[in-house]
Chain A
Amino acid sequence: MSKQFLLAAFIVILLVAFRSREKPLFVAPPSWPQPHYDFNENPLTASKIALGRVLFYDPLLSADSSTSCSSCHSSYTAFAHTDHALSHGIHDSIGTRNAPALMNLAWKKSLMWDGAVHHLDLQALAPIAHPAEMGEELQHLTLKLQSTGMYNVLFKNAFGDTLVTGERTLKAIAQFMLVLVSAQSKYDSVMQGKTQFTLQEKKGYRLYQQHCSGCHAEPLFTNDEFAYNGLPADPKLNDSGRMKITGDPKDSLHFKVPTLRNIEVSYPYMHDGRFMNLTAVLKHYSTSASALPLNNPKLSLPLPLTPADRVDLLAFLLTLTDKNFLFNPDFAYPKKIIEQATKESERLRK
């Protein structure tokens, strides 16, 4: 019997040793809710994530090869666009909304400021096809990818053969977006008992819990719902937000609650990028009355925050910056993957 036990223990150790050699592709932080994304429908593999990453950084996805996803979603700013309040696309077009930061997308029930997209797989279609963003047709894009040697290699690695389809292209991009998990900020270390807030950060955390957590709920720092936050509509953009999708006047000027994670680097703020810094955002919430009736039990404006409170709150918000996420080499421009795939395609051509 002890022999059997030993053998079992030996096998377990072998398995553990084998498994620990490879980094897991996706880790849901243990204290977080279950991801909304169904990974069984699109099981992650390293080669599909690599393909998605190359696609994400490739301006070939746009009609004139000028604009990639990363043009407006830079890894160093939590995949937001700090140069522009509104998205900036082909032929110097300017869109109508602020490119949002990208992280923890596996937990999202819907995407875009108005929730127009219901599934992460189908999200990339919107900026690819939008005439003021990448202005490209998916069908045409698949032909361009099919005739590029590097992509023949990457698609074969990912899917077993070189065939490019819309489904494969979108699933690969979704896989790269899924692995963009940010959960290693100072706030997270404090919650795990590894470090402590400063006194000022602690005060700020209490103020956050009191005034902000109704919508920007822990641990994702968003409830993933739509809300009106009292801002007057920009008369030029005249953007009614969620109402465009539901047709319900109750949803007028409602926009997706963005996450506060990495908020330090993902400026400018709001759906139209009207605030350049967090001081301006906090000023709005603590000094402005709502432009229109709020009808929001979670928010009453202005919030009773003194100037000193605002400084404390800001100190807490800065603890949500996750440098491991911002400077993760696995999320940056995939130079090595591109070089290897290009070399391989040249070798095959000979």
Chain B
Amino acid sequence: MALKNEKNKIIREKKSFHLINIQDTNSLTISPQLSTNFQASSLQFFLGIDSITNSAGVQGGCLDPMQGMYWTWLSGYINLKLEGHYPSASTSFQYHLGGYRAPFNTLQTVEIEIPDAKYLEIPIDIEKLFTQAEDSTPDHIMSPGKEAMQLSKLTATMFPSSVK
């Protein structure tokens, strides 16, 4: 996670990994270890885990495989899990998006314009993922590859380009 100011100066949080779990309200509030003395104009973060972290050995905290965001049959982090049912149909969907090896590196960059504030609320619009996805997108994507790559590109659009 990083902050940028008007002069394009960037400060980055060290060892910056945050896991957001919609079922765990505590995880929905993030307090990054960043200087409060910085007139930020935008917030930047990766959606997913970079390839260097992916290539390393087992790690702890929110990177611990016990969090369920690590594939077991294949080495690598799952960047985003989204599972559910369509209300109109009896079909379910299950998306475990990840993969860090070229040409299917699913890591996305998000940049959001922000006001200079101590507390920010960032809405995530999951519907955007579904309205933009092609009709041919399968209901189940659970391994790295072309399909995971295509859907991952849309995940960044769930975040707003600016917040007030």
Contacts and interface: CB of A to CB of B under 8 A. Distances in A.
Chain B binding surface SS class: loop
Contact of A166 (B56, B57, B58, B73): B58
Interface string B135-157: 00000000001000000000000
Interface in B56-75: 56-60, 64-68, 70, 72-75
Contacts of B72: 125-126, 128-130, 138
B57 A119 contact: yes
Contacts, number: 68
Which of B59, B64, B65 gathers most chain A CB within 10 Å? Answer: B65
Contacts of B33: none
Given A138-B65, A139-B68, A167 B73 contact: no
Contacts of A117: 74-75
Nearest to A171: B58
B55 A166 contact: no
A117 B73 CA distance: 7
Contact of B66 (A119, A121, A139, A245): A139
B74 A142 contact: no
B105 to A, nearest CB: 14
Contacts of B58: 119, 121-122, 166-167, 170-171, 174
Interface residues of B, number: 17
Given A122-B70, A245-B74, A165 B64 contact: yes
A41 B57 contact: yes
Interface in A157-178: 165-168, 170-171, 174
B123 to A, nearest CB: 29
A240 B68 CA distance: 27
Interface string A117-154: 11111100110111000000111011000000000000
Interface of A: 38, 41-42, 116-122, 125-126, 128-130, 137-139, 141-142, 165-168, 170-171, 174, 245, 247
Interface of B: 55-60, 64-68, 70, 72-75, 145
25 contacts: A41-B56, A41-B57, A119-B56, A119-B58, A122-B57, A122-B65, A126-B72, A129-B72, A129-B73, A130-B73, A138-B68, A138-B72, A139-B68, A165-B60, A165-B66, A166-B60, A166-B66, A166-B67, A167-B60, A167-B64, A170-B58, A170-B65, A171-B57, A245-B74, A247-B145
